[in-house]
Amino acid sequence: MLSFTADASLFQEVLNRANKLISKAKKSLFISPGVLLRVRDRNLTVFATDIDSWIIQDMPIYDGEEGEVFIPIAETLKLVKGFKRVSAIRVMETEDSIKISAEGTSSEYEIRKYNLGEFPQTPDYTLYDGYTIDLEQFVEGLDIVSWCSAENDSRVFLNGVYFHSGDGYLNLVASDGTVLGKVSKMRFEGEIKGIIPINLVDVVRILDEGSAVIKVEDGYLYLATSVEGANISLIIRLINEEYANYESLIPFEFIAGTTLNREDLEDAVERIFNFLPETGEIEVEILDGEFILSTLSSKGRGLEKVGGDTFGKIKTKMFGNHLREIVRKLDYERLDIKFSGSSTPIYISPSGSDEVIFLTVPLT
């Protein structure tokens, strides 16, 4: 039967990452909320899954006997966290439970294990090739655009974040049909594409630092990295559809626009946001060196004028919540807001850069 002694701090971190995945999926999880522990060749592998995704972690152990056991994650993690200022944790499998103790204490606990036969078949998670990416940049890109994604749209490809290589970058794109966000900040020379379901984006956020090897194969996204003494693999089922040709929607010629200070715009948007009508619309206008925001509702009337460099003149309406969220996500000193017409997408980006762009439909 399985047994091992492992570094207490490392074991806790491994269980904590596994618990993040299981906690996000607990309501829809149709297997018992636990992890599979496997000991082989003086190595412990911890498997956690919500069926659509896996996090698999390999860590060294001091000693042990080979075996597999399916155990509850919540109780085990709480117990391991409770052993403070200890250097090693001892786990031993019995007929119907696991015994957990800590080096240097007289404490001993038993946690009833789950039926091993209930745990899904574990996947092959070894990556023999792939491309290297910066996880912090990848997660940052997801954070910038994922709010644009739909959740239950009949156009299934919209219910996720599309990533694809092109022009020397890894591009991240999301849209619900009324707003679109695109990030092209990460240099990338390979060829890759796929759509991460919006409900699984949080799984990727479990890994948010260091570098990782990325690969798409047989409808799954694979990410492999090493952190804090453990080798970690994420496997995520992708949406099996082609993404729309979003690039055809991006305008390149403009009849009016403004460049202004982001903080000034954010302050104005936050003030006027409380006066939006139930329709959520806000009127925007470019006129003589000013970007003008106005709204009228049962609460009253709001008017804001933000100074900036402008060209052309235009007046239209847009969703106030789109403008608010876009300004929050664009953490740059100055922003460009440009119009190709009163009924074509409004283009918002960092001033002079297209590394992040948002498009939002005007309301006519």
Q: Tell the CATH topology of 132-213+237-247.
A: DNA Polymerase III; Chain A, domain 2 (3.10.150)
Phi, psi of 66 (to 5 degrees): -65, 150
Query: The sheet that has 193-197: what strands, in order across it?
Result: 193-197, 160-166, 169-175, 179-187, 356-360, 346-350, 334-339, 256-261, 309-311
Asked if pLDDT for residue 30 goes beyond 80, the answer is no
pLDDT at 359: 98
Kindly indicate the confidence band of residue 231, based on its pLDDT and cuts at 50, 70 and 90. Answer: very high
Burial of 151 (0-12, 13-18, 19+ CB in 10 A): exposed
* pLDDT tens readout for residues 311-342: 999 999 999 999 999 999 999 999 999 999 98
End-to-end CA distance of the chain: 69
Burial of 167 (0-12, 13-18, 19+ CB in 10 A): exposed
Kindly indicate the confidence band of residue 23, based on its pLDDT and cuts at 50, 70 and 90. Answer: confident
Q: Where in the chain do CATH 3.10.150.10 domains reside?
A: 3-118, 132-213+237-247, 250-360
| Domain range 250-360, its CATH number among 1.10.3720.10, 3.30.1180.20, 3.10.150.10, 3.10.310.30 | 3.10.150.10
What is the arithmetic mean of pLDDT over 341-346?
Answer: 91
Contact 235, 220 (CB under 8 A): yes
Buried b (16+ CB within 10 A) or exposed e, 190-206: eebebbbbbbbbbbbeb
Asked if pLDDT for residue 28 goes beyond 70, the answer is no
Phi, psi of 181 (to 5 degrees): -120, 140
340 is written with which tokens? 């190709």
Classify residue 363 by its DSSP letter: B
The mean of the pLDDT values for the chain is 95
* pLDDT tens readout for residues 52-71: 999 999 999 999 999 999 99
pLDDT at 32: 86
Q: Tell the CATH topology of 3-118.
A: DNA Polymerase III; Chain A, domain 2 (3.10.150)
pLDDT at 343: 87
Contact 185, 353 (CB under 8 A): no
* pLDDT tens readout for residues 209-227: 999 999 999 999 999 999 8
pLDDT at 29: 61
Q: For the ranges 24-33, 127-136, 338-347, which has the lowest average pLDDT?
A: 24-33
Percent of the chain with pLDDT over 90: 90
pLDDT at 38: 98
257 beta partners: 311, 338
Measured between alpha carbons, how far is residue 279 from residues 118, 239, 282 in Å? 49, 32, 9
Residue with the bigger pLDDT between 143 and 25: it is 143
Tell me, what amino acid is at 21? L
Count Cβ atoms below 10 Å from residue 124 Cβ, excluding itself: 8
In whole angstroms, give the CA distance from residue 4 to residue 93. 9
290 beta partners: 287, 307
What is the arithmetic mean of pLDDT over 168-194?
Answer: 96
* pLDDT tens readout for residues 271-300: 999 999 999 999 999 999 999 999 999 999
Asked if pLDDT for residue 26 goes beyond 60, the answer is no
Phi, psi of 355 (to 5 degrees): -70, -25
* pLDDT tens readout for residues 126-174: 888 999 999 999 999 999 999 999 999 999 999 999 999 999 999 999 9
pLDDT at 240: 96
* SS3 assignment, position 20: helix
Asked if pLDDT for residue 33 goes beyond 80, the answer is yes
Please tell me the pTM assigned to this model: 0.93
In whole angstroms, give the CA distance from residue 136 to residue 322. 25
Percent of the chain with pLDDT over 70: 98
